[in-house]
Amino acid sequence: YFESTYFCYNMIPYVSTFLISILLIVYGSFRSLNMDCENQEKDKDGNPVPNGAFNNGNTNNSESHIFAFSLVHVLCCLAGIQTIDSTQALFLPIGASVSLLVMFFFFDSVQVVFTICTAVLATIAFAFLLLPMCQYLTRPCSPQNKISFGCCGRFTLAELLAFSLSVMLVLIWVLTGHWLLMDALAMGLCVAMIAFVRLPSLKVSCLLLSGLLIYDVFWVFFSAYIFNSNVMVKVATQPADNPLDVLSRKLHLGPGMGRDVPRLSLPGKLVFPSSTGSHFSMLGIGDIVMPGLLLCFVLRYDNYKKQANGEAGGPGTPGRMGRVSYFHCTLIGYFVGLLTATVASRIHRAAQPALLYLVPFTLLPLLTMAYLKGDLRRMWSEPFHTKASSSRFLEV
């Protein structure tokens, strides 16, 4: 009895990681699809939609998302939904490797700046996560009129409430360093990136995920042979000095002013400790966002195909295979891949590159299913019949 109870307690962090990561991917994907549908409806009503319409998924200026787009303007360096092209997909692992090395060698020098930038981006992303809830809460008691803040723009009460709550959460996290608040901020980052970054085709998806698989495997398994340390694990687990503590030292304040604040574990991962604190489950947000982008792509394709079949009046793919969506197939593959990665980490008692398991278990079933349904050629290149002339791409 006691052994089974101990086993159940040990499994709680892993089950929490499974549930939260899947919920984040599903919510972010449907949030993205909802933004596309609003953009499509706005286009049908005759309102101008700059930089492309629904099919290419480049921008969305619907009233309920103006605030969110202004936030992700900071998060993604450009306003609007961002689409990754083939060149950027190839060079993204290289850029990620350079960033990892900078954090590995110069973390002590840049940790304060990096912590502040992370806190700002986490505030923006978590405000985007809270926005639908705040819109629901404020709808009965206030009109959706916008309040002007001069050069800062015009915002509704729901948008101001979401941003205020997000700022409050970040401030409490800085003061306490609690892992639960860090996880909340990481969830906001995951949802924002899944909702606002797009993969335009299956070809780009394969290039990006294959490159990141090699990146993940190299830095987890082989970096120790070159740098005498596991670069990925060290960067992911290294806490940063609290900005309040650094400010207190710089200004030569008393020992009671900012000196008792904890060091901060940055929200680049989801962490769920066990009840005893002896071990914890950790999953990087890249292991959620990158497969999440693939799931967002297949959800958009499922919706596009459903609309196309509805307009044509055709029955679609007959038989059982026609009733299985690409989204459900890929989501099941993600779950199996995450389960396999967890089992591997428990067996080897060492950090595992999660993308080593997630990429094959998501891409291979998707490619097989697309081939059997006859959609592989269409999904491989320009599945939504986009016009590349109006695309705006995410700079790496």
Is residue 288 within 8 A of residue 38, CB to CB? The reply is no
Residues shown for the chain:
396
Quote the DSSP letter at residue 384: T
Q: Tokens in use for 396? A: 């790496």
| Cα–Cα dist 132/156, whole Å | 12
> Could you identify the residue written with the tokens 């609007």?
80
Which one of the listed residues 36, 183, 216, 245 is annotated catalytic? Answer: 216
| Cα–Cα dist 192/124, whole Å | 9
Residue 148 forms beta bridges with which residues?
154
Distance linking the first and last C-alpha atoms of the chain: 53
Ordered DSSP codes for 277-338: SS-EEEEETHHHHHHHHHHHHHHHHHHHHHHHHHHHT---S-HHHHHS-HHHHHHHHHHHHH
Maximum Cα–Cα distance across the chain? 75
Which one of the listed residues 36, 183, 245, 287 is annotated catalytic? Answer: 287
CA distances from 170 to 152, 182, 260, 350 (A): 21, 9, 18, 31
Whether 287 is catalytic is yes
> Could you identify the residue written with the tokens 């400790």?
273
For 230, phi then psi, to 5°, come to -75, 100
| Cα–Cα dist 379/326, whole Å | 11
Q: Is 54 helix (H, G, I), strand (E, B) or coil?
A: coil
Whether 183 is catalytic is no
Q: Tokens in use for 100? A: 């990892």
> Could you identify the residue written with the tokens 């959620």?
288
| Cα–Cα dist 25/35, whole Å | 15
Tell me the catalytic residues: 216, 287
